[in-house]
Structure 1
């Protein structure tokens, strides 16, 4: 019997571009963005300053005649050095990004890509953390998996309930601004998770080198689903 491949399953769910943002935004209006430590342009940017990073991202979007910048899966980023949340002495430094970021203005609506139930939600308030976060549970062809939506607005979780049902294409949330989203320029952190490991309203979105092989298996590239390239 052929061994089940979760990554191939995610890639095969939909053969076409899958949008978790406003459906009026076309695939052609997305551009790639490199925030890795190997991007020399960032040497001239204080990536720890929300306004400076936001200006860089907005200029990049405008220069590419786009509405959304995306990227970040497995990027090794310097931005996390600003926060003890990722660099406490009790753990290895975490600086490798496990989701995909969709950079667009605050209040942008977020939509669920599949039928889902709310597994959990939480306001993760550590500096540099997700802020308001929702985790959805999906069951497709008897395969259960989860999607995480981080950096949302506070109102996105105000009246939410565990077990609440969302239909495919239904609005789930809106994006938060830097006052609630962990102090980042507005963006959605979207992550696919096979095993939540008993987490509730939170799941690591950044890995250390030591743990990376596990997370690469448990959190496949969201672009296998989104198909933005």
Structure 2
């Protein structure tokens, strides 16, 4: 697959880890939550408790501390929420646009690059991000944004738009299931080229009709994270 100039640019950047830097990449394991994973047919993915048991057992089996993945996965997990469902199947949002890092609530979240606070918001729909932070980055004449979803409420308290954030600086902690949209604890990390007028929010899941646009506007976060 040919990469765009922006995708190639992301690959050149040396990003700081977005979660606990003491965890080496050897302690990460990739996780498949797509509709094609037959193991999930035995799991009630509508239950955050059951889904957490599945993911945490998977990490234990693989001697991993963090499970990650999900970019462009078509998932059944969103069917539980009317926020994502539409009567027209092509309008149903079920294609994941970020990368998820599954680890315990309270885990520190760090800025991968220098930036400024663009916006923040508590997105409280069922299955939504919960507390969310967006950073703006201006590097080598490129302007883009990174989104951090499923944070703790404290993470978006007393923030100020425009405040500078240094690479590696702690910017948040992960939220618990009661504030993070009713999910097992994890970070939703997403790159956004053109954020339009969104503030503290941006679609993290696409439908089939808008897929090509979002695929271009939200490139693979692993180009930056290199997991």
Residue in 2 that maps onto 1:97? 96
1:7 shift after superposition: 1.1
Counterpart-to-counterpart distance in 2, 1:219 and 1:6: 11
Alignment pair present for 1:81 and 2:74:
no
Counterpart-to-counterpart distance in 2, 1:95 and 1:103: 19
Counterpart-to-counterpart distance in 2, 1:22 and 1:71: 17
Alignment pair present for 1:141 and 2:127:
no
1:6 shift after superposition: 1.2
Residue in 2 that maps onto 1:66? 64
Counterpart-to-counterpart distance in 1, 2:96 and 2:112: 22
Counterpart-to-counterpart distance in 2, 1:51 and 1:114: 33
SS in 2 for 1:172: strand
Counterpart-to-counterpart distance in 2, 1:84 and 1:197: 25
Give CA deviations for 1:160-199 in whole Å, capped at 9, x if unaligned: 1111111110000000011000000000000000000210
162-171 or 180-189, larger mean C-alpha shift:
162-171
User: Superposition pairs for residues 212-223 of structure 1, below 5 Å?
Assistant: 212-223=211-222
1:124 and 1:130 in contact (8 A); partners too = yes
Q: Which runs of 4+ in 1 moved over 3 A?
A: 88-91
Residue in 2 that maps onto 1:23? 21
> Which ranges of structure 2 fall in alignment gaps of 5 or more residues?
none
Alignment pair present for 1:11 and 2:14:
no
1:18 and 1:227 in contact (8 A); partners too = no
Residue in 1 that maps onto 2:45? 47
Q: Normalization by structure 2: what TM-score?
A: 0.96
1:50 and 1:184 in contact (8 A); partners too = yes
Give CA deviations for 1:75-104 in whole Å, capped at 9, x if unaligned: 000000000111144881000000000000
RMSD: 1.4
Residue in 2 that maps onto 1:153? 152
What is the aligned counterpart of 2:54 among 56, 72, 76? 56
Q: How many residues align?
A: 224
Counterpart-to-counterpart distance in 1, 2:181 and 2:189: 15
5-14 or 98-107, larger mean C-alpha shift:
5-14
User: Superposition pairs for residues 150-189 of structure 1, below 5 Å?
Assistant: 150-189=149-188
1:18 shift after superposition: 4.2
2:125 and 2:181 in contact (8 A); partners too = yes
Residue in 2 that maps onto 1:129? 128
